Amino acid sequence: MRNLKTYRHLFFDLDHTLWDFEKNSEETLHHLYDHYNLGQLGNFSRDSFYRKYSFVNQRLWDQYHQGKITQQQLRENRFVKCLTGLGMAATDVPAGISEAFTSICPTKTAVFPFTHEVLQYLQSKYVLHIITNGFKDVQYIKLRSSKLDAYFSEIITSDCANCTKPDRRIFLHALERAGVSAQESLMIGDSLDADILGAMNAGIDQVLFNPERKRPRLKPTYEIHCLSQLKEFL
C-alpha cells in the first residue's frame, strides 16, 4: 500500500479498533455471572449469557444510533432483555447488575495487537484523535485504564457532538475541534457504516480495520487486517 496523500491528523475509532471490546466485555460478563450467581437463578451457562448479552446489546446500540432509544434506556434495558430472554423472571434480574457492568468493564485493559507500538510510531508523525459513539464517562475511563489517553489530542464523543457516527456532523465537529481540513485527515475504524461511510460522507479518507477479513460492501481508501499495517503507508 502506498500513501499518495499527505495527512496531518489521524482520527481513530476506539471500541473494536484499539480497545478490544469483545475480550473486555466477555471477561466482565463472566465475572458478573459468578458474582450474581446467575447460574443458580437461571438455567444457562456463562457462555450462553455472554452470547445472549452480545446479541441484545448490539441491537440496542443499533437503536441508539438510529435515535430510537436514549442512553439511559440502553443501559436500563440490556440486562433485563438479556436475562429474561434466557428464561429468567424479570423479578429475579439482580438489582445493580447494569451499573456493575458499566463500572467494571471500562477498567479492563485489553487492546488489539500492536496498538501501543503503532500509536507510539504514529504520534511522532501525526496528531492523533478519537471519534467514538461511546458515552463520554465510560470512554475516558477506558482510555485511562488501558493507557491510551496520552496518545490523543482531541477525544470526540457522540455525547459532546450531540450526534452519532455515521452522521457527518460528528466528523465535521471533529475537524473543527482539531482545526484541520478533511483533505488532511484520515479516519481509522472497524465499522463500515459508522466509520467508513460516515467519513466518506464528510470527505475524509478512511482505513477499514478488518481483522476478520470480511468482504466489505464498500470500498475504503485503505484496508488493513492488523494495526501494524498502518506503518506500511503512514
Q: Does 4 reside within a domain?
A: no
- Return the pLDDT at 141: 97
CATH number at residue 34: 1.10.150.240
Q: Are residues 208 and 118 in the same domain?
A: yes
Query: Could you say which of 60, 80, 107 is where a domain stops?
Result: 107
Q: Cβ distance 200 to 206 under 8 Å? A: yes
Q: Are residues 94 and 122 in the same domain?
A: no
Q: What percent of the chain has pLDDT over 90?
A: 86
Whether the pLDDT of residue 132 is over 80: the answer is yes
For residues 91 and 128, what is the distance between their CA atoms, to the nearest angstrom?
46
Query: Could you say which of 107, 123, 157 is where a domain stops?
Result: 107
Encode pLDDT of 165-198 as tens digits: 999 999 999 999 999 999 999 999 999 999 999 9
- Return the pLDDT at 4: 62
- The count of C-alpha atoms lying within 13 angstroms of the C-alpha of 142, restricted to the half-sphere facing its C-beta, is 27
Give the residue-averaged pLDDT of 105-126.
98
- Return the pLDDT at 165: 93
Q: Does 3 reside within a domain?
A: no
Give the residue-averaged pLDDT of 3-8.
81
Best CA proximity match to 161, nearest among 150, 149, 148, 175: 175
> Which pTM value belongs to this model?
0.92
For residues 203 and 172, what is the distance between their CA atoms, to the nearest angstrom?
9
For residues 27 and 19, what is the distance between their CA atoms, to the nearest angstrom?
14
Query: Could you say which of 107, 142, 163 is where a domain stops?
Result: 107
Q: Are residues 207 and 226 in the same domain?
A: yes
Q: Does 222 reside within a domain?
A: yes
- Return the pLDDT at 2: 64
Q: List the domain range (segments joined by +) for residue 216.
A: 9-20+111-232
CATH number at residue 190: 3.40.50.1000
